[in-house]
Amino acid sequence: MPLSVGYLLGETKLKTKQNTRTIDEINEKIRNGDAQVLTAEEMKRLVESSGVEVAFREVDVVTTGTFGAMCSSGAIINVGHSDPPIKIEKAWINDVPICHPGAAVDLYIGATTMSEQQPFEYGGGHVIEELVGGKEVDFKATAYGTDCYPRTQVKTRLTKDDLNQFYLLNFRNCYQRYNCAVNGRDETIYTYMGKLLPRMRNATFSGAGELNPLMNDPDYETIGLGTRIFLGGAQGYVIGEGTQHDPQNRFGTIMVRGDAKKMSPEFLRGAAFTRYGTTLYVGLGIPIPILNEGLAKKTAIRDEEIFTSVVDYGVPRMDRPKLGQVSYKELKSGFITVKDDRIKVSSLSSLKTARKIAGTLKSWIAQGEFFLTAPVERLPIDSVFKPMRRTEATPFVASVMQTAVTCHANEKIRTIAGRMVTHSVNHIIVVDDVGKLGGIVTSWDITRALAEGKPALADIMTRRVVTAKPDEPLEVASRRMAQHSISALPVIDAERKVLGIVTAEDVSKLLGR
Amino acid sequence: MVKILIKLSEALVAKPTTAEIILEHKVPINIITAHVTSKGGDYLVDIPDEWLETVVTAYRKKGALVTLPKLVEIDKDKCFNCGACVSICPVGAITVAEDKSVNFDQEKCLGSTCSACVEACPARAIKSVKQNNHELANNTH
């Protein structure tokens, strides 16, 4: 019996040696300068030309990279104690408010927090880039004062060398893939997916596709708590799943940490999305150890095998309409086809920098400057990304809309003025014989018609009317009124038949503004 | 080719001003963009270098205002080659090269008459820059 067990173990061991390799073995090779490292793009070419078996035998590590806007990023800083000491209540760096979630002088610079002086142009992401680049920043803080921390305000200038700790601590980075965004509305919209032209005249996407770290190890065999990575130009670590990690839909994310003092502004860039806000572009690369043939095959994944949805960001809801599927190959080609329309598409993340990251990580490993780690705990493969629990009903347009007072285009202004008084309304909707929207006329239009002596409704009515749909959330209709500086929206159905009217007054009664 | 901006008054848009100049001087004027109402008009036109002086003088003689458009410039140090601007450009002046660098073709760019890319740039690397109008004046005196 003992003999046969030993025999079996020996056989298994022998087999293991042929079909797998360990991280320790790879690190030994790195130490000896013998490790074979390819970037993900090179690996794909090798598998294509020589097959998985050869690729597994010859390659120890595949490097990946991505460089994109990652809003859930920031940095922990400890600014040291002043004399007399202060227990910071509020703090600012270059006029950007800084979070104070902890004790006296521990602060967190959030990438999306915007400057009070230049909102939408300068924010936490820019502060991090400047500090990482060695620049001096203006620091100020206020406090309520205590017996142990009597100071109530402090002002100074700081560089990264003055900080005790300066750690990048990003709670959601490196989305495995992301949506392709278009805008089905009639006006340009400004989103976190960039500027989207009306009627789907352009599209944007994010992500490195076949170069993306998580895409090359989609079952997270080698990635988890403790995985050493390229982060912002230095070595960093994965510290677990990122927020909104959604592995079953291939929308995995990671949480990362790294010493920002060692990072480079080339791989950490503050950015501003017009009318959306500021963010941080983060450079991140993960080395995938080729432990078995399965991983060799997985790292061979190509852009044409990675699909994502084309999503209409013109619909401001949690579930936005999906208009189709496209591959990263199409996205990177510059054009996608959606419902027979050819649409020009822009990348928001930099493929050039993603390649540079994969290349840099490759050279670090090849030169023996970077060793691999096995995760202490792998990323979960079964977590579920839930929407917010709802305890209050969302008000919709249908719930506040009123019956519209209408008129026909051939009616006299005098008659319409009379109707406004009778119904005590400020808006009358112009409809055709079947009740379809033709225009709108306000009490102000009537006043102007009188003052300027214009007798016909056709001269004063507004024909390009901003409208609402009954199933839209009231918040959305309210924002539309504010954006167009108007006080009412006709509510119409898909055939443009008038169903009612929603006024700013009705909205403020319900939303309290 | 040189791009110039021509501003026509209410009186000048009422007449076939540009047609008259083309017929009179036999100059090739390529209108790239035009915003014309009964109150006046703004034209962005492309003219071969050798015809610049003739065209500018002819328009000015008729009372039009001729200037150089602002140029769009990309600060290569700030640009991190994301490509957000590429799909925004209506004339294909911004493209992605084989090595994934973002390339800009000044010749194709409509300059300040468009500037759609400026606010689309997350790196704020694109600026509208005023050209030196003295050059235009000197060339055409």
DSSP string over A273-324 = ETTTEEEEEEEEE-EEE--BHHHHHHTT--GGG-EEEEEETTS-SSSPPEEE
B118 in reach of chain A (CB within 8 A): no
CB proximity under 8 Å: B 88-107 to A: 88, 96, 99-101
CB contact (8 A) between residue A197 and residue B88: yes
Is B75 found in the same domain as B62? no
Band of residue B106 on the pLDDT scale cut at 50, 70, 90: confident
Tokens read off for A61: 């590590």
Mean pLDDT of chain A: 93
Contacts of A67 in chain B (CB under 8 A): 80
User: Rg for chain B (alpha carbons), in Å?
Assistant: 17
Contacts of A343 in chain B (CB under 8 A): 87
User: Which tens digit of pLDDT belongs to each residue from A352-376?
Assistant: 999 999 999 999 999 999 999 999 9
Is B107 found in the same domain as B61? no
Contact A429, A406 (CB under 8 A): yes
Tokens read off for A9: 């173990």
Inside any domain, residue B95: yes
The CATH number that applies at residue B99 is 3.30.70.20
B83 in reach of chain A (CB within 8 A): yes
Inside any domain, residue B34: yes
Judged against a pLDDT cut of 70, whether residue A4 lies above it is answered with no
Judged against a pLDDT cut of 60, whether residue A7 lies above it is answered with no
Is B76 found in the same domain as B124? yes
Is B80 found in the same domain as B59? no
Contacts of B123 in chain A (CB under 8 A): 269, 271
Q: How confident is the model at residue A450, as a pLDDT? A: 86
What's the rounded mean pLDDT across residues A25-45? 97
CB contact (8 A) between residue A274 and residue B81: no
Judged against a pLDDT cut of 70, whether residue B28 lies above it is answered with yes
Backbone angles phi, psi at A494, to 5 degrees: -60, -25
Is B18 found in the same domain as B56? yes
CB contact (8 A) between residue B120 and residue A269: no
Which of B67, B86, B105 is at the close of a domain?
Answer: B67
Inside any domain, residue B62: yes
Q: How confident is the model at residue A17, as a pLDDT? A: 47
Contacts of B88 in chain A (CB under 8 A): 195, 197, 202, 346
Out of A71, A148, A180, A407, pick the active-site residue.
A148
User: Which tens digit of pLDDT belongs to each residue from A56-76?
Assistant: 999 999 999 999 999 999 999
Tokens read off for A255: 């949480």
Which of B67, B85, B102 is at the close of a domain?
Answer: B67
Which of B39, B67, B95 is at the close of a domain?
Answer: B67
What's the rounded mean pLDDT across residues B41-53? 90
ipTM above 0.90, yes or no: no
CB contact (8 A) between residue A195 and residue B88: yes
Inside any domain, residue B47: yes
Q: How confident is the model at residue B133, as a pLDDT? A: 67
Band of residue B113 on the pLDDT scale cut at 50, 70, 90: confident
Quote the domain boundaries for residue B78: 71-129
Contact A360, A230 (CB under 8 A): yes
Judged against a pLDDT cut of 60, whether residue A11 lies above it is answered with no
Instruction: Give CB contacts under 8 A, 24+ apart, made by A51-59.
Output: A52/A293, A52/A296, A52/A297, A52/A300, A53/A293, A55/A290, A55/A296, A55/A300, A56/A290, A56/A292, A56/A293, A56/A295, A56/A296, A59/A290, A59/A296
Inside any domain, residue B97: yes
User: Which tens digit of pLDDT belongs to each residue from A400-412?
Assistant: 999 999 999 888 8
Is B83 found in the same domain as B44? no
Is B89 found in the same domain as B33? no
Among A7-16, A153-162, A449-458, whose mean pLDDT is lowest? A7-16
Q: From the DSSP assignment, how many helices (H) and strands (E) are in chain B?
A: 4, 8
What is the number of structural domains in chain B? 2
CB contact (8 A) between residue A279 and residue B120: no
Is B76 found in the same domain as B37? no
CB contact (8 A) between residue B122 and residue A69: yes
Contacts of A69 in chain B (CB under 8 A): 122
> Any catalytic annotation for residue A148?
yes
